[in-house]
Amino acid sequence: MSEKSTPSEKNITAAIIIIGNEILSGRTQDANAAFIANRLSLRGITLHEIRVVRDDRAAIIATVNALRARYTYIFTTGGIGPTHDDITASCIAEAFGVPHVIDAGARARLVEYYAPSGTELNEARLRMATLPQGSALIDNPVSGAPGFKIGNVFVMAGIPKVMRAMFDHVETMIEGGAVVLSSTVACNMREGDIAHDLGDIQNDFLDIDIGSYPHTGGGGAVTGPSLSIVLRGTEEGRLTDATLRVADMIRKRGDEPRISGIKN
Amino acid sequence: MSEKSTPSEKNITAAIIIIGNEILSGRTQDANAAFIANRLSLRGITLHEIRVVRDDRAAIIATVNALRARYTYIFTTGGIGPTHDDITASCIAEAFGVPHVIDAGARARLVEYYAPSGTELNEARLRMATLPQGSALIDNPVSGAPGFKIGNVFVMAGIPKVMRAMFDHVETMIEGGAVVLSSTVACNMREGDIAHDLGDIQNDFLDIDIGSYPHTGGGGAVTGPSLSIVLRGTEEGRLTDATLRVADMIRKRGDEPRISGIKN
């Protein structure tokens, strides 16, 4: 879809930056991007890009600076632990041109978190309290060391359980957009048979984002055609009209559409 | 890791571009990037970036042009079907500044694929044979319509089963780099306790990429610390030396390291 077809009264945009060699080497399957994408979708925030970059200073700095200028919110995950490969905080400081300093609030959280177990707050652990100057802290109820926010950039941990807990706090710090509603019309048509008509419907509903997703069966051979047409938009009436138009078109072609997501 | 720490005799690099609103809306979890990442890793090709972009002409064109100038190979998935939202081929043509035309070879494959079922090769299906001029075809044994290669850009389907089949052909068209070997040292130490020593080892082995990945348990509460230290490099002897050094360090700190991936 071109941008004009996914309007929202409040156009709030976002990008996600996943930082970590382990994703790019194929060792680890990222789960954070899909989690954040879902939560943004529920808040009416349009996610424009996801980028996965290496633990490389130049790559992180360039990516953060390119994206923070372009979108309302940037969310990063990964690289904020105590080891030598945790370079996110220092790269974000450089991207913003601010000092990378021990944050008194973050340090206090580490002291409190480690005190019960008598764990030493050594130099390595203090890295986790060393943040871009002027950052606000993001709560970490799972493992103590906070994430942080500077400007429009929210910096979270890479461990999914920790990231998810941090995101609960992040959600209190961001503004949502017009909520996007969606519907699905499933059928057994082949894409190529309805593509022309579907294109016509899209042209008549430029405010509705219509996507067509064929799926093959999970087994070794291709099973019968199966197609989901997903419609997304911010106005319920328009979404319903477009959905019924797609369903009608499929019915006229002799298949029985299965509609979900609208009242009818 | 900085780039200098992951050298290879033949430095072959890559980026992946995942095209599709359905990933960014959170509706679909992408599985293609991890698959390609794994296969590239086995071939000694260093994956530098993954980008997920919307079905948006400007975004696709800008991303393809930025990345194809920077890396040896670019792999794209998604947006090559017959519907209005399948705009990848036409965007790639525009990115390369070549006409977007019906490819005789691709058309012949569609004719052959659809003939047995008597399926009409209509205008919508012909979109799947309309490619950037000068493209080479990528076989699609699953559903007929080919992918294509132009310059250093390999364009594949978004449906995972189709993409995987296409990638088998793509692998015959690309050159591998020095194969990267990896080892893992697992232990029950906390990252913060070994971070300093691990940084020292990294400094002594700049040709080995050392990553530290803590994991929390899957349940509701944090279980005991559990840590995987992953080492990657192209020289077996150096990898073994670095791995044993990490294991020794952990042993000295009173834990029993579990080593995998090296002969010892």
Say what the ipTM of the complex is: 0.89
Residue A221 has pLDDT above 70, yes or no: no
Region A28-56 average pLDDT: 95
Pick from B12, B63, B85 the residue to mutate for testing the A interface (most A CBs within 10 Å).
B85
Residue B6 has pLDDT above 80, yes or no: no
Residue B195 has pLDDT above 70, yes or no: yes
Q: Is A187 on the interface with B (CB under 8 A)?
A: no
Fold of B3-170: Molybdenum Cofactor Biosythetic Enzyme; Chain A (3.40.980)
SS3 B253: coil
d(CA A202, CA A63): 34
For chain B, where are the alpha helices, taking DSSP H only? Answer: 21-24, 32-42, 57-68, 88-96, 104-114, 123-126, 160-170, 191-204, 236-252
Rounded to two decimals, what is the model's pTM? 0.90
Residue A12 has pLDDT above 90, yes or no: yes
Q: Is A210 on the interface with B (CB under 8 A)?
A: yes
Q: What is the pLDDT of residues A57-103, one digit of tens each?
A: 999 999 999 999 999 999 999 999 999 999 999 999 999 999 999 99
Q: What is the pLDDT of residues B38-95, one digit of tens each?
A: 999 999 999 999 999 999 999 999 999 999 999 999 999 999 999 999 999 999 999 9
Residues 111..140 of A with a Cβ closer than 8 Å to B: which? 119, 122-125, 127-128
Contact B79, B55 (CB under 8 A): yes
Place A113 in a pLDDT band, splitting at 50, 70 and 90.
very high
Q: Do B82 and A50 touch (CB under 8 A)?
A: no
Residue B3 has pLDDT above 80, yes or no: no
**pLDDT confidence of residue A183:** 96
* Superfamily of segment(s) A181-260: Ribosomal protein S10 (3.30.70.600)
**pLDDT confidence of residue B8:** 43
Structural domain boundaries in chain B: 3-170, 181-260
Q: What is the DSSP string of chain A?
A: --GGGS--SS--EEEEEEE-HHHHTTSS---HHHHHHHHHHHTT-EEEEEEEE-S-HHHHHHHHHHHHTTSSEEEEES--SSSTT--HHHHHHHHHT--EEE-HHHHHHHHHHHGGGT----HHHHGGGEEETTPEEE--TTTS--EEEETTEEEE-SSHHHHHHHHHHHTTTS---SPPEEEEEEES--HHHHHHHHHHHHHH-TTSEEEEEE---SSSS--S--EEEEEEES-HHHHHHHHHHHHHHHHHTT---EEESS--
Q: Do domains A3-170 and A181-260 have the same CATH topology?
A: no
CA angle B47, B58, A26 (to 5 degrees): 15
Q: What is the pLDDT of residues A186-205, one digit of tens each?
A: 999 999 999 999 999 999 99
Q: Among B25, B82, B211, whose Cβ lies nearest the Cβ of A41?
A: B25
Query: B210: which 2 tokens?
Result: 């050392």
Q: What is the pLDDT of residues B156-179, one digit of tens each?
A: 999 999 999 999 999 999 999 888
